[in-house]
Amino acid sequence: MPESRRPRLVDVAERAGVSPRTVSNVLHNHPHIRDSTRKKVEEALVALDYRVNLSARALAGRNTGFIALVIPVLDNPYFSSLAAHVIEACAARDWTVLIEQTSAQEDRERNAVFGPASRLVDGVILQLDSIPEEELSRRFSHSSLVLIGEEASAAWADHVAVDNVSAAREATEHVLALGRRRIATAGILPSGLNTTSELRYRGVWQAMEAAGVSLRTDYLLEVGNFRRPDGADAAERLLRLDVLPDALICYNDLIASGMLAKLREAGVSVPEDIAIVGFDDNEESQYQAPPLTTIAWDLGAIAQRCVEQLVERSQPGGDSRPPARTFVGHELIVRESTVSTRP
């Protein structure tokens, strides 16, 4: 096959030793395909880097009109809100969004990104959690993929990122300015593999170091996940300490919500005894008791920029431009969990 020509269905069929019809059935996830045959076809698809030829489909009036959004979970308000914004941004382009939940599991993430169904969409917006970047870069070569979330270490794909370090530093500087010095954090995962936790911890540490305040190891609270029960469990461990912190940086609003409930139950006053800050500005944050100070991300800007980058790639010559990296801003929303309005 000439290097200048994109691989076709018949090229995949020839490499796999099957008919083009069989390749088509695999691409459409036909149920009556032997596992051995499916494996041969999928290996040929990856080896030849076969993707839907969007220009050919457009000429034939057969654009897929689908964009894949691959995220860890849907029941986390951050990701469900992000999905809603992506759907709105895509609707303006007459694109339909197919959402895949991976639970941050490598096999599910790999299937969503590399599986046959991924070749039936016009582009992929991916929250990268598990697949090694090197493997992903070989497959996509920045042509139809936009990464979201943390900053990737290699500039090989379009990327829309948030600055977790800067946001966590600002949140910590806020409680330091209130005179708080015994600052704890809640959101470190035991595996140590979650980049979000690492970056938010780094921001907290930077702010405290600049202020000349020590970060106690017993104030670094691990969680099993980023949900309300995990925050409540962390609060129970916090309450067993000899000296309570006077400020708490929670790595998302769900953890903070669980913390608030358990501390209120124990008679700890927020913010008088402990000031609390969260991340994400979930809808429920302003209705907590007390309302939660939090970091708000511009999810609308994240979604809009992702779609813009996919559109730019689809234009003539779009594949040849260098990968773009965009950082979307944040805002510290100050509420009563850090600054009381009570007399």
pLDDT at residue 142 in the model: 46
- Co-location of 236 and 255 in the same domain: yes
- Co-location of 76 and 158 in the same domain: yes
* Region 52-77 average pLDDT: 70
State the chain's mean pLDDT as an integer. Answer: 86
Q: How many CB atoms lie within 10 A of CB 271?
A: 23
Please check whether residue 341 lies inside any domain of the structure: no
Please check whether residue 107 lies inside any domain of the structure: yes
Confidence of residue 5 (pLDDT cuts 50, 70, 90): low
> Can you tell me the distance from the alpha carbon of 164 to that of 225, in angstroms, rounded to the nearest whole number?
18
Please check whether residue 188 lies inside any domain of the structure: yes
Tell me the two tokens of residue 68. 């894949």
Peptide bond into 116 cis (omega under 30): no
Which has the higher per-residue pLDDT, 222 or 128? 222
- Co-location of 140 and 212 in the same domain: no
- Co-location of 121 and 180 in the same domain: no
Please check whether residue 68 lies inside any domain of the structure: yes
Give the relative orientation of helices 299-314 and 77-91 as an angle to the nearest 10 degrees: 40
Most confident of 72-76, 111-115, 318-322: 72-76
pLDDT at residue 343 in the model: 56
Most confident of 3-12, 112-121, 252-261, 321-330: 252-261
pLDDT at residue 9 in the model: 80
Q: How many CB atoms lie within 10 A of CB 315?
A: 9
Tell me the two tokens of residue 162. 């948030």
- Co-location of 234 and 267 in the same domain: yes
- Co-location of 170 and 239 in the same domain: yes
Which has the higher per-residue pLDDT, 108 or 62? 108
How does pLDDT run across 238-264, given as a tens digit for each residue?
Answer: 999 999 999 999 999 999 999 999 999
Residue 35 half-sphere exposure, CB side, CA atoms within 13 Å? 0
- Co-location of 170 and 237 in the same domain: yes
How many domains does the chain divide into? 3
Q: Which positions ≥6 away from 214 have C-beta within 8 Å?
A: 208
State the residue range of the domain holding 33.
Answer: 1-50
What CATH number is attached to the domain comprising 188? 3.40.50.2300
This prediction has a pTM of 0.78
How does pLDDT run across 176-187, given as a tens digit for each residue?
Answer: 999 999 999 999
DSSP designation for 132 = -
3-state secondary structure 134-147: HHHHHHHCCCCEEE
Confidence of residue 290 (pLDDT cuts 50, 70, 90): very high
